[in-house]
C-alpha cells in the first residue's frame, strides 16, 4: 500500500470547499492551491482554510502551473469539460464535480483527451457513496439482490430558500439556464453505479414550469423524469429537479431475489442512511429472509464523521485519492460519468421529439463518436451556436428583470452587507 500524500488543487470556492474540509480530516491528500476569479470568495476561503502553505489564484491558467497531482473542478456545472481538457493537457489528473459535459461534442473530446493524455479522470458523483446506495452496490455485487429487474432514483431538492446564494441573481447562471434534465446524475448515477450496467435507451417526461420556478427565475420545467433501459433489459426511473415542494433523496432496487430500498425522508428514519431489505435466500418463491432495516456504514464512512452529504463527499474523495496513490478505489471513470449524464441529455431529446424512445450510444466504441463530434446541442448560447436548445421544452418562460433584481439584492445583503466573512454552506 502506498503511503504517498496526493497534492491537490481546487477550482471554485463554493462547492470546492469539500476539498479543504476533506484534507483537514483525511491523511491521503494535501490541499496546495485554490483558484477562483471571485476575489472576495478567495478571501473567505483563505480565512476558512487558515493554512499559509496554500497558494491562491484568480487565473485558471496560472493555477494550472502549480505543482500538484490533481485538480478538483468545482466551477460552473456546464463548463467542466473544457476545464478538464485544459487540466489534463497541462499534465494534471482531474476530479470533476457534477456534471461532466454539456454537449455530445464535449463528451467525445473529453473521452479522447483522457485516452490520449493517459491522465486519470474521476467523476465525483457523491450520491453513489451515500450509505444506503453504497451498501446496495455491495449487496448487488455479492449477488444478494440477484439479477437487476427494476429500480428508482430520486433527487428532489427545493432550493428556493438558498437561490440567492446559488445564483447571485444572475439571469444567465447555469442553474437558471439548464433544462430540467441536465442535473440528472444524483438520481440516475447511483442506479448505474450499483448495477455496473450501461443505460441503452431512455424516454423523458417533463413536469411543467411552475410558480416556484417563476419566483426563482429558473427557466425550465419543474422536474425531469427519465425511464431508462439498462443493457440487461431492466428498467429504472430517475426523477430530479427543484420544482416540487418537498425534498426527496431515495433509491430502490428490485432484483430476482427481492428488493432493497432506502428510507424516505418523510418517514424520519435516517433517509439514505437507512436501508430496508426484503430478500430471498434464492430465487425460489417463498424462501424469504424477511424484512430487515439497518444503518450501513462502510469503514471509510465511519471516518467521515458524517460530514458532507452524510459522509458521501468524504467517501467519494477517499476512494479517488487511494486510486491516485495506486492502491485502487471504487471510482467513477469518464465512460461511466458520461453514461450517467447521457441519461438526461437524451431524455431531453426525447421530450423535444414528442416523447420518443432515444438510444444512448456507447461512447467506448470509437466508431460511434463521429456522429457526435460536432454536436453542440445545449441550452448555453455561448457553446451551442446555431444548435441552441430551449431550456424549457414548451418555449423559454419570460422572467421579469425584477425577479433577478430582488434575488441579487438578497445575495448582496448576505455577501456584502455582512462584516464577518460567511463560511461556505453545503448545498
Ligand X SMILES: NC(=O)c1ccc[n+]([C@@H]2O[C@H](COP(=O)([O-])OP(=O)(O)OC[C@H]3O[C@@H](n4cnc5c(N)ncnc54)[C@H](O)[C@@H]3O)[C@@H](O)[C@H]2O)c1
Element (H, E) at 8: strand 6-11
Minimal distance, residue 210 CB to ligand X, in Å: 22
Q: How far is CA 391 from the centre of its chain?
A: 19
Minimal distance, residue 220 CB to ligand X, in Å: 15
The residue among 60 and 236 lying less far from ligand X, judged by its C-beta, is 60
List residues near ligand X by CB under 6 A.
Answer: 11-15, 35-38, 41, 60, 74-77, 97-98, 126, 166, 309, 427
Pick the closest to residue 425 from 23, 14, 11, 10 (CA basis). 14
Residue nearest to ligand X (CB): 14
**What is residue 70's three-state secondary structure?**
strand
Q: For residues 258 and 418, what is the distance between their CA atoms, to the nearest angstrom? A: 54
Pick the closest to residue 296 from 179, 138, 183 (CA basis). 138
Minimal distance, residue 83 CB to ligand X, in Å: 7
Q: For residues 308 and 23, what is the distance between their CA atoms, to the nearest angstrom? A: 13
The residue among 247 and 278 lying less far from ligand X, judged by its C-beta, is 247
Q: For residues 351 and 391, what is the distance between their CA atoms, to the nearest angstrom? A: 12
Minimal distance, residue 391 CB to ligand X, in Å: 16
Tally: H helices and E strands in the chain: 15, 15
Minimal distance, residue 149 CB to ligand X, in Å: 28
Q: Would you give the DSSP letter of residue 397?
A: P
Q: For residues 132 and 149, what is the distance between their CA atoms, to the nearest angstrom? A: 19
The residue among 174 and 209 lying less far from ligand X, judged by its C-beta, is 174
- Bridge partners of 153, per DSSP, are 238, 251
Minimal distance, residue 273 CB to ligand X, in Å: 16
The residue among 296 and 308 lying less far from ligand X, judged by its C-beta, is 308
- Return the CA Rg of the chain: 21
Minimal distance, residue 322 CB to ligand X, in Å: 19
Q: For residues 69 and 65, what is the distance between their CA atoms, to the nearest angstrom? A: 11
The residue among 176 and 298 lying less far from ligand X, judged by its C-beta, is 176
Q: For residues 170 and 214, what is the distance between their CA atoms, to the nearest angstrom? A: 14
Minimal distance, residue 424 CB to ligand X, in Å: 8
- Bridge partners of 236, per DSSP, are 151, 228
Maximal CA-CA distance, the chain: 66
Cβ neighbors of 84 (< 8 A, separation 6 or more) are 73, 94, 96, 100, 110, 113, 121
> What is the β-pairing status of strands 248-255 and 148-156?
antiparallel
The residue among 35 and 188 lying less far from ligand X, judged by its C-beta, is 35
Minimal distance, residue 181 CB to ligand X, in Å: 14
The residue among 38 and 265 lying less far from ligand X, judged by its C-beta, is 38
The residue among 222 and 310 lying less far from ligand X, judged by its C-beta, is 310
The residue among 32 and 203 lying less far from ligand X, judged by its C-beta, is 32
**What is residue 276's three-state secondary structure?**
strand
Give the chain's end-to-end CA distance (angstroms, integer): 34
Minimal distance, residue 34 CB to ligand X, in Å: 10
The residue among 400 and 426 lying less far from ligand X, judged by its C-beta, is 426
Contact (CB, 8 A) for 33 and 9? yes
Angle 312-324/17-25 helices, nearest 10 degrees?
80
Minimal distance, residue 416 CB to ligand X, in Å: 15
Contact (CB, 8 A) for 231 and 202? no
The residue among 20 and 148 lying less far from ligand X, judged by its C-beta, is 20
Amino acid at each position: 500500500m502506498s503511503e504517498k500524500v496526493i497534492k491537490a488543487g481546487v477550482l471554485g470556492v463554493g462547492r470546492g470547499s469539500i476539498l479543504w474540509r476533506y484534507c483537514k480530516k483525511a491523511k491521503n491528500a494535501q490541499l496546495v492551491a485554490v483558484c477562483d476569479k471571485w476575489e472576495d470568495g478567495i478571501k473567505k476561503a483563505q480565512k476558512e482554510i487558515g493554512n499559509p502553505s496554500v497558494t491562491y489564484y484568480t487565473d485558471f491558467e496560472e493555477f494550472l502551473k502549480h505543482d500538484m497531482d490533481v485538480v478538483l473542478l468545482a466551477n460552473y456545472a456546464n463548463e467542466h469539460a473544457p476545464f478538464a481538457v485544459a487540466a489534463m493537457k497541462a499534465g494534471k489528473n482531474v476530479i470533476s464535480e457534477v456534471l461532466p459535459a454539456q454537449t455530445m461534442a464535449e463528451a467525445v473530446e473529453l473521452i479522447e483527451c483522457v485516452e490520449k493524455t493517459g491522465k486519470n479522470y474521476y467523476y465525483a458523483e457523491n450520491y453513489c457513496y451515500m450509505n444506503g446506495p453504497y451498501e446496495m452496490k455491495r449487496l448487488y455485487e455479492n449477488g444478494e439482490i440477484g439479477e437487476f429487474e427494476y429500480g428508482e432514483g430520486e433527487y428532489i431538492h427545493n432550493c428556493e430558500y438558498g437561490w440567492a446564494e446559488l445564483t447571485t441573481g444572475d439571469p444567465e447562471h447555469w442553474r437558471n439556464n439548464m433544462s430540467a434534465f441536465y442535473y440528472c446524475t444524483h438520481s440516475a448515477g447511483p442506479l448505474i453505479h450499483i448495477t455496473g450496467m450501461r443505460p441503452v435507451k431512455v424516454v423523458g417526461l417533463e413536469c411543467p414550469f411552475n410558480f416556484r420556478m417563476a419566483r426563482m427565475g429558473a427557466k425550465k420545467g419543474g422536474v425531469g423524469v427519465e425511464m431508462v433501459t439498462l443493457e440487461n433489459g431492466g428498467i429504472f426511473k430517475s426523477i430530479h429537479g427543484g420544482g416540487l415542494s418537498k425534498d426527496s433523496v431515495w433509491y430502490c432496487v428490485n432484483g430476482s431475489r427481492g428488493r432493497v430500498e432506502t428510507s424516505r425522508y418523510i418517514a424520519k428514519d435516517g433517509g439514505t442512511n437507512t436501508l430496508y431489505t426484503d430478500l430471498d435466500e434464492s430465487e425460489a418463491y417463498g424462501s424469504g429472509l424477511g424484512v430487515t432495516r439497518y444503518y450501513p456504514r462502510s469503514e471509510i464512512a465511519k471516518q467521515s464523521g458524517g460530514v458532507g452529504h452524510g459522509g458521501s463527499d468524504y467517501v467519494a474523495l477517499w476512494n479517488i485519492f487511494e486510486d491516485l496513490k495506486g492502491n485502487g478505489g471504487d471510482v467513477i471513470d469518464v465512460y461511466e460519468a458520461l453514461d450517467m449524464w447521457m441519461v438526461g441529455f437524451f431524455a431531453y431529446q426525447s421530450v423535444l421529439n414528442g416523447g420518443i424512445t432515444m438510444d444512448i450510444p456507447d461512447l467506448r466504441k470509437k466508431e460511434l463518436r463521429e456522429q457526435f463530434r460536432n454536436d453542440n446541442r445545449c441550452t448555453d448560447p455561448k457553446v451551442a451556436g446555431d444548435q441552441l436548445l430551449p431550456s424549457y421544452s414548451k418555449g423559454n418562460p419570460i422572467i421579469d428583470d425584477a425577479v433577478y433584481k430582488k434575488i441579487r439584492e438578497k445575495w448582496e445583503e448576505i455577501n456584502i452587507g455582512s462584516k464577518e466573512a460567511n463560511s461556505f454552506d453545503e448545498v
